[in-house]
Amino acid sequence: MPTTQDIRAVAPALEKYAKTVVLGDLWKRRGLPARNRSIVTVAALIARDQTVELPYYLNLALDNGVKPAEISEIITHLAFYTGWANAINAVPAAKDVFKNRNIGADQLPPVPGLSFRSTRQRRRNARRASGSNSDRSRPVSSSTRQTSCSGISGSDRDWRHGTGAW
């Protein structure tokens, strides 16, 4: 990321706007605490794959009380909503910031057991474990049937298939 002196040498007005408007007026507004503003800014930079400014704003987020575990979760969460590549591209910036601040793996969230089995498969396994076959012969209507998308059912399922409103 260019330094303040680099910006001033090329575009003095841009340096002034950055200090007075962006880091001044915008970051001092009362409507959103600095911690939350940091989370939103880091998320927006990752979502837009703008990694040049990311180290600065990751440091600012940590200074504003965002925990390393939260930054890790933000990156992971955004992989599914803004693209895997955007999240992966944020990793080097976060790694450098974490290294410079002596943030280790002990400050990051544990990795849960990953399971992408369908709801139907989880229920089948639960029935087998309990020895119950009671609902195997019971018909399931399409309005209550669970899909494999994390238990989305009813009108939610219809919305996903374009047949209804959320």
In tens, the pLDDT along 95-148 reads: 999 999 999 999 999 887 766 666 677 677 777 877 755 545 445 444 444 444
According to the model, what pLDDT value does residue 119 have? 66
Does residue 5 register a pLDDT over 70? yes
Does residue 57 register a pLDDT over 90? yes
Mean pLDDT of 49-77: 97
Q: Tens of pLDDT along 16-53?
A: 998 899 888 999 999 999 999 999 999 999 999 999 99
If pLDDT is split at 50, 70 and 90, which confidence band does 4 have?
Answer: confident
Q: What is the separation of C-alpha 157 from the centre of its chain, rounded to a whole number of angstroms? A: 24
Mean pLDDT of 79-87: 96
If pLDDT is split at 50, 70 and 90, which confidence band does 3 have?
Answer: confident
> Do 79 and 87 meet the contact criterion of CB atoms below 8 Å apart?
yes
Where along the chain do its domains lie? 31-103, 142-166
> Residue 157: what are its φ and ψ, rounded to 5°?
-65, -40
According to the model, what pLDDT value does residue 112 have? 79
- Residue 137 tokens, joined: 């012969």
According to the model, what pLDDT value does residue 29 have? 92
Contacts with 42 (C-beta within 8 Å, 6 or more apart), sequence order? 54, 57, 58, 61, 66, 71, 74
According to the model, what pLDDT value does residue 131 have? 72
According to the model, what pLDDT value does residue 24 have? 86
**What is the value of pTM for the model shown?**
0.66
- Residue 26 tokens, joined: 């915008």
Least Cα distance to 157 among 106, 107, 120, 104 occurs for: 120
User: Would you identify the CATH topology of the domain 31-103?
Assistant: AhpD-like (1.20.1290)
According to the model, what pLDDT value does residue 66 have? 98
